[in-house]
Every structure is written in structure tokens, then in C-alpha cells.
Homo-oligomer: A and B are copies of this chain.
Amino acid sequence: MTKAELLHQIKLKNSYLCVGLDTDITKVPRHLLASDDPIFEFNKQIIDATVDFAVAYKPNIAFYESQGAKGWESLQKTVDYIPKACFTIADAKRGDIGNTSAMYAQAFFEKMSFDSITVAPYMGRDSVEPFLQFEGKWVILLAYTSNSGSSDFQKLTVSKDDIPLYEQVISTSSKWAGDDQLMYVVGATHPQEMKKIRSLVPDNFLLVPGVGAQGGSLKDVSEAAITKEVGLLVNSSRGIIYASNDKEFASIAGQKAKEVQQEMLGYLNLYC
């Protein structure tokens, strides 16, 4: 998907919501457990109920891998089911030496047709570049993550430019690809730092996890980093997909997604 196509979807739906499909077999409503593939059935109903309010879907690959080969099939069916107009993110946090990253790229971009993948930067340029060799596909590089452990290494000051490591990651990697191929993960739990990050990469999309269960605020994130061309995908997982676990779970997820979208509409009107 191109940047223009993504922006078109955002304007069409008045939304920059990404729904995180962290689908946990132990949290799926019990009445789905009788189906052949409860994880896919859950995702299908969630997608149907939220697709008018979400521009992106982000399956969290760990939740599928934990189910072995069957989970991998549920993942494949899920990606195939997501409408092509939506942006798909393999939240995989991969990254390895060149020939291995190339295999991961093949797994997520060719075997499955994800539009993008989250990538960990620790192994440097040649671990990221194989993912950049696919036209219309995106790398979403971890910069400043939403978890408490982000302070262990990401916040360390690096002597080279006397800036935190996550800023160094952004300034170095932004030379590897343009804003039509590269996004960054920045946690909603860091709204202050997000302003600085926005100034470093004024045109790159930021994928923002950490709203909701992790304590971040959509308002703070939007104020800090929205641009004329939006430049944000804000993820919500548990707050939407597990809003209810009874038979009405999908329609309640749809209502929650709509509430987020309505709040986003306000910020789009205000800032874009």
C-alpha cells in the first residue's frame, strides 16, 4: 500500500485507528470454542464489526505462534480476510543478519501479504534493509516503545550526538529509506518525547501503541504528533477486542472502535 492510499483511507473513514489483533485463545468468548478455528472466527467477527472505524489491523504474531502450525493457519486466514483497503501490520519485531531477515521478509510479505512489519533496530542497517526491498511494503522500526523496559537501553544517552539511543536510531535509520517506506513505533506513554520525535521525522508515520490498557492518552498523542497529513496510526488492542466476552462481543468491540474513531474525528477536524 502506498502512503497516498493509506492517507486516502484515513480521510475516507475519518480515522487513524489500528485495531490490534492480540487474539488469545484463553480470552476468546466461550461460545466460539466449538468452531473449527476459534481464533480466526473471533478475528473475522471483530474485523466485520470494526472495519468502518479502523484503517489498519495489527495481528500480534506471538499470539499465533503460541498455537504452533494451527496458529499460523489462523494468521494466514486472518490476513487474507482483512479487506485490501485496510493497512495490515505484522507485529513481529523481527530483525536478523541479512540472509535471515530476507527470509522473514519472504514470510510476511510474500507467503502472507502483509503491508508492513515491525522490526527491531538492534542489529543495524543490514538487518533492516532486506525488508525494504519490497515495493509497496513498509518497515515499522522500533524507536521508543511503550513498556517500562524502554528506559533500560532506549533512553541511554549516546555520546555520538549526545541524544538518547531512540533518537539516534531514528536519525540514523531515516537515511536508509524515505517516509514512503519507513514508519516508527513510539509508545503513547511518552507524549513529551513524541513532540521531539515528530520534529526529527516530520513526514514519517508513527505507529503508536500504549493507549488504553498501558495508560497512554489519545488526546496527548494527537496533540503531540498529528500533522497536516495525519502521520499517525494509533493502536488499540485489549480496549476494543476484549471490551466484552459474551455473545455480543463483536458489536461491543464495534461500539468501542466507533467511540475512538469519533474522538479521532475531532482531532482531525482540529489539526488536519
Contact = CB atoms under 8 A, between A and B. Distances in A.
Given A66-B103, A103-B65, A165-B165, A156 B160 contact: yes
How many copies of the shown chain assemble into the complex? 2
Contacts of A158: 156-159, 165
Interface stretch (A6-14, A115-123, A224-232): A115-123
A104 B62 contact: yes
A21 to B, nearest CB: 12
Given A93-B96, A121-B153, A157-B158, A69 B72 contact: yes
Nearest to A98: B147
A172 B152 contact: yes
Task: Give the contact-size bracket for chain A.
Answer: 35 or more
A35 B73 CA distance: 22
A65 B107 contact: yes
A2 interface: no
A31 interface: no
Interface in A149-175: 149-154, 156-160, 162, 165, 168-169, 172
B153 A97 contact: no
A121 B153 CA distance: 8
Interface of A: 22, 24, 60, 62-63, 65-70, 72-73, 76, 91, 93-101, 103-104, 106-107, 111-112, 120-128, 142, 145-154, 156-160, 162, 165, 168-169, 172, 214
A172 B153 contact: yes
Given A24-B103, A153-B168, A159-B162, 16 more contacts: A22-B100, A60-B103, A62-B100, A62-B103, A63-B103, A69-B72, A98-B147, A121-B153, A124-B147, A126-B147, A126-B149, A153-B165, A157-B159, A158-B158, A158-B159, A159-B159
Contacts of A121: 122, 152-153
A127 B149 CA distance: 7
B104 A66 contact: yes
A121 B93 CA distance: 12
B153 A122 contact: yes
A66 B153 contact: no
Q: Which 9 A-B pairs have the closest CB atoms?
A: A124-B149, A124-B152, A62-B103, A69-B72, A157-B159, A65-B107, A126-B149, A97-B147, A66-B107
